[in-house]
C-alpha cells in the first residue's frame, strides 16, 4: 500500500500563512465482473430460469454479445474509473457462430465490449495452449483441424491480457502474466489496482492431455499469495482476484446471504492473503454475491459470479481511499442481461417487464452478424452420409435410432478417456435429422439436431452408482425418460415393479453390470451437471472433459462412407403398460 509522505513545516519569519489542503476523498472504481461467456455471441435460444431472493421464479431470454456490450457500457458510465474483468471460459464449448471459427469472434466481441482482463479458464485450453497463445497474440498459424482466419485475415488477437498466475512453463515462467496493474487519477488522488488471474489447479483433468503438455498447473492459493506480495511491493491500493473456480449456493441469483454455500473455492479462499479486496469467480455456472467474511471472519472480501453465457454481469462498486490505501466493496449486484428471444417456432418472445431489456450495441451487433452469416454458409458443408429410411425421429423422451447414433459417436470420441458406455438424453435432440435424397448430411443438419454446444464428460462410477443412475430413468418423479445408450449396452425394465427396482437387467457386452466393478461413462455436460433430474451423474469421479458433442457427431459420421443409424432395441420395456 502507498505510504503518506509527510510535508515539512516551513519556518517563516513574521506573520506567515500556509495554504490548507484537504485530503482527497475515497474514489469509487466501477468493476464489472463476467465469467463463463462460452462464445454466446447470439442470445441463448431458450429462456433461463431465475430465482429471486423472495423465492419468485421467472423464465427470461438473455445474453448475446451485443446486448451484454450495451449493459456493460451503461454500468461503466456510473463512475469515471472502471474495469471489466472476466474469470475465464470466455471461449470453448461455444455455439456454432463462434466455435466454427475457433472462437475468434468471441475474442473480437470482447475487444469491442472493452474487456480489460481475462483469467484463463479450463476451456481456454480445449484446443491446446499454443492455440490459446494465438488467441492472445493473433495470427493465422494453424494448431487445430479447423482452419483459422476464415473471416478476419489476419486475426488480430485479444486487445486485453490473459492472466495465468498458476500456469507455469518448463522454464518456470507463467504462460501469461500472473497479474496486471491499472492506475487511475493523478497526484494525491491517484489509485493503483492490481488484478490477479488464474484457473483451477485441476484443469489438466478437464481437458485433452495433449492440450496441456509442457505446462504445469500449480496450487491456487499459493499462486495468489505470491502475486499479492508482488502487487504490494508495486504499491497497489486494491487487489482483485479473478479465478476460474467457484461456489454453489442455494439462494437466488442476487441473494447476499451465501445460503447453502459449498464448493472447492471455499478451501482455496480460506488460505488466500487477507489483503485481497474482491474475488470474481466462475466455473460452476452459478450466480452469487457472497461476503466471504461470513465464512471466514479474517477475510473481508466479496466473492461474486455472474452465471453462464453473458446472461448476467456483476455490477461492483469498489471504494478506494487514496490517502490510506484502503479499499472495500461498497456494493455488488448481479444484473440480468435480458435480450430479445425467440421461441422454438421462431416467434419473438415477450420480454419480462420485471427485468431491464437492453438494446444491442450497434457495433458489436454488426460484428456478430458477419460471423453468423459466415456460419450459415459453413452450415452447408457436407459432413457424411447416412442410411436408414424412416429412422430420423426428433425430440423424444425414450430411446431413438438418432439418439443411439449420437451415443455411439460420443463413445467413439471419448475412448481415449477410457469410456466404456455413453448415454444420450433424447430430450436433448432438438430436431429430426433430415439428410438429402442421397443420404448426405450437412454440418447445418447436425447442428440443428444438437444446437447447445455441450461438451462431453467422462466419469468413473461404481456398479452400484451406475445401477442407481439407471433407476432414475424410471422413478416416480415425472414421466419415464430412457437414455439412448451406446452399442454394447443393453437394458430391460418393468414399470410394474416398485420404484428403485424397475431395472430387470443391465449388461455391457453381454455381461451384467457388476456392483463391485467400476465403469467409465460418457455423457454431455448438461447431464453431467444433473440435468433432466439425473442427479446421479454428478457423483462420478475422475472427470475428463472431451470435445463438443457436435464435433464428436461430425467425426463419427465422417469415418465411414455411409453410416447406418443403429436401430432401437438397446432399451426394452417388458411390461405391457
Q: How confident is the model at residue 2 (pLDDT cuts 50, 70, 90)?
A: very low
Average pLDDT over residues 161-181: 98
Q: Give the Cα separation of 290 and 283 in Å (integer).
A: 16
pLDDT tops 80 at residue 15:
no
Question: Which pLDDT score is estimated for 459?
Answer: 97
**Is residue 259 predicted with pLDDT exceeding 60?**
yes
For the whole model, what pTM was predicted? Answer: 0.76
Per residue in 271-296, pLDDT tens?
Answer: 999 999 999 999 999 999 999 999 99
- Is the omega angle on the peptide bond into residue 299 within 30 degrees of 0, that is, cis? no
In this structure, of 217-226, 395-404, 418-427, 452-461, the range with the lowest mean pLDDT score is: 395-404
- 3-state DSSP call for residue 62? strand
Confidence of residue 21 (pLDDT cuts 50, 70, 90): low
Closest CA to 425 of 483, 472, 477, 491: 483
How do residues 317-349 score in pLDDT, each as one tens digit? 999 999 998 999 999 999 999 999 886 667 888
Mean pLDDT, rounded, for 487-512: 96
C-beta atoms surrounding 173 within 10 Å: 10
- Secondary structure in 3-state letters for 439-484: CEEEHHHHHHHCCCCCEEEEEEEEHHHHHHHHHHHHCCCCCCCCEE
* Gap between the Cα atoms of 344 and 324, Å rounded: 56
Residue 387 pLDDT grade (very low, low, confident, very high; cuts 50, 70, 90): confident
Which are the contacts of 158, defined by CB distance < 8 A and separation ≥ 6?
Answer: 107, 110, 111, 115, 118, 135, 136, 138
pLDDT digits (tens, 9 = 90+) for 43-74: 988 899 999 988 899 999 999 999 999 999 99
- What angle (nearest 5°) sits at the alpha carbon of residue 296, between those of residues 292 and 302? 15
With a CB cutoff of 8 Å and minimum separation 6, the contacts of 172 are none
Give tens-digit pLDDT for 527-565. Answer: 998 877 899 999 999 999 898 899 899 999 998 789 988
Radius of gyration of the chain (CA): 26
Determine what percent of the chain is predicted with pLDDT higher than 90.
74
How far is the C-alpha of 464 from the C-alpha of 165, rounded, in Å? 40
The answer to whether the Cα torsion of 166, 169, 171, 177 is positive or negative is negative
19 confidence band (pLDDT: 50, 70, 90): very low
Residue given cell 485479444 in the structure block: 158
Percent of the residues in the chain that have a pLDDT greater than 70, as a whole number? 93
Q: What is the pLDDT of residue 7?
A: 32
Sign of the alpha-carbon dihedral angle for 160, 163, 167, 171: positive
Strands (E), 152-237: 162-163, 167-169, 179-184, 191-199, 215-217
pLDDT for residue 4: 35
Strands (E), 133-203: 162-163, 167-169, 179-184, 191-199
Arithmetic mean of pLDDT, 441-448 = 87
Tell me the pLDDT of the chain averaged across its residues.
Answer: 91
Concatenated DSSP letters of 119-140:
E--GGGGTT-HHHHHHHHH---
Residue 279: name the closest of 289, 294, 267, 264 by CA.
Answer: 289
pLDDT of 20 strictly over 50: no
Q: How large is the average pLDDT for residues 143-164?
A: 94
**Mean pLDDT to the nearest integer, 349-365:** 96
Amino acid at each position: 500500500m502507498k505510504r503518506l509522505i509527510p510535508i515539512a513545516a516551513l519556518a517563516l519569519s513574521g506573520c506567515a500563512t500556509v495554504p490548507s489542503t484537504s485530503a482527497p476523498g475515497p474514489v469509487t472504481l466501477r468493476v464489472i465482473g463476467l465469467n463463463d461467456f462460452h462464445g454466446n455471441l447470439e442470445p441463448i435460444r431458450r429462456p433461463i430460469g431465475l430465482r429471486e431472493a423472495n423465492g419468485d421464479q421467472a423464465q427470461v431470454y438473455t445474453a448475446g454479445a451485443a446486448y451484454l456490450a450495451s449493459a456493460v457500457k451503461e454500468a461503466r458510465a456510473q463512475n469515471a474509473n472502471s474495469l471489466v474483468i472476466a474469470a475465464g471460459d470466455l471461449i470453448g464449448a461455444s455455439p456454432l457462430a463462434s466455435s466454427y471459427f475457433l472462437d475468434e469472434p468471441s475474442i473480437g466481441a470482447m475487444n469491442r465490449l472493452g474487456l480489460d482482463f481475462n483469467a484463463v479458464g479450463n476451456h481456454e485450453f480445449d484446443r491446446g495452449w499454443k492455440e490459446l497463445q494465438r488467441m492472445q497474440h493473433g495470427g493465422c498459424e494453424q494448431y487445430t483441424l479447423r482452419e483459422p482466419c476464415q473471416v478476419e485475415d489476419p486475426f488480430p488477437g485479444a486487445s486485453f491480457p490473459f492472466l495465468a498466475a498458476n500456469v507455469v512453463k518448463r522454464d518456470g515462467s507463467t504462460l501469461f502474466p500472473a497479474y496486471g496493474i491499472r492506475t487511475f487519477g493523478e497526484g494525491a488522488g491517484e489509485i493503483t489496482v492490481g488484478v490477479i488471474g488464474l484457473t483451477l489447479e485441476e484443469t489438466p483433468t478437464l481437458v485433452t492431455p495433449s492440450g496441456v503438455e509442457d505446462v504445469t498447473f500449480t496450487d491456487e492459493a499459493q499462486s495468489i499469495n505470491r502475486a499479492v506480495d508482488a502487487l504490494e511491493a508495486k504499491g497497489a491500493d486494491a487487489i482483485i482476484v479473478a479465478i476460474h473456480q467457484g461456489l454453489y449456493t442455494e439462494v437466488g441469483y442476487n441473494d447476499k446471504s451465501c445460503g447453502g454455500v459449498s464448493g472447492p473455492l471455499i478451501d482455496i479462499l480460506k488460505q488466500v492473503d487477507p489483503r485481497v479486496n474482491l474475488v470474481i469467480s466462475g466455473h460452476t455456472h452459478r450466480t452469487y454475491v457472497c461476503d466471504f467474511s461470513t465464512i471466514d471472519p479474517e477475510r473481508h472480501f466479496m466473492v461474486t459470479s455472474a452465471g453462464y453465457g453473458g446472461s448476467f454481469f456483476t455490477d461492483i462498486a469498489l471504494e478506494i481511499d487514496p490517502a490510506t490505501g484502503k479499499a472495500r466493496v461498497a456494493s455488488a449486484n448481479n444484473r440480468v442481461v435480458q435480450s430479445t428471444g425467440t421461441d422454438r417456432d421462431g416467434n419473438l418472445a415477450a420480454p419480462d417487464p420485471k427485468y431491464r431489456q437492453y438494446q444491442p450495441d450497434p457495433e458489436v451487433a454488426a460484428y456478430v452478424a458477419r460471423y453468423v452469416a459466415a456460419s450459415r454458409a459453413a452450415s452447408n458443408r457436407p459432413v457424411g452420409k447416412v442410411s436408414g429410411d424412416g429412422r430420423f425421429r426428433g425430440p423424444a423422451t425414450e430411446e431413438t435410432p438418432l439418439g443411439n447414433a449420437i451415443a455411439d459417436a460420443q463413445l467413439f470420441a471419448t475412448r481415449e478417456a477410457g469410456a466404456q458406455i455413453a448415454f444420450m438424453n433424447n430430450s436433448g435432440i432438438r430436431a429430426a435429422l433430415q439428410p438429402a435424397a442421397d443420404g448426405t448430411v450437412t454440418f447445418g443438419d447436425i447442428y440443428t439436431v444438437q444446437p447447445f454446444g455441450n461438451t462431453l464428460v467422462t466419469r468413473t462410477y461404481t456398479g452400484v452408482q451406475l445401477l442407481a443412475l439407471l433407476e432414475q430413468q424410471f422413478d416416480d418423479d415425472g414421466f419415464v425418460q430412457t437414455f439412448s445408450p451406446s452399442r454394447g449396452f443393453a437394458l430391460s425394465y418393468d414399470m410394474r415393479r416398485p420404484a428403485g427396482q424397475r431395472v430387470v437387467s443391465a449388461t455391457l457386452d453381454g455381461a451384467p453390470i457388476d456392483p463391485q466393478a467400476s465403469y467409465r461413462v460418457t455423457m454431455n455436460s448438461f447431464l453431467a451437471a444433473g440435468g433432466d433430474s439425473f442427479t446421479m451423474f454428478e457423483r462420478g469421479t475422475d472427470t475428463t472433459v472431451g470435445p463438443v458433442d457436435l464435433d464428436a457427431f461430425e467425426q463419427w459420421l465422417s469415418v465411414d462412407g455411409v453410416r447406418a443409424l443403429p436401430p432401437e432395441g438397446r432399451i426394452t420395456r417388458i411390461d405391457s403398460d
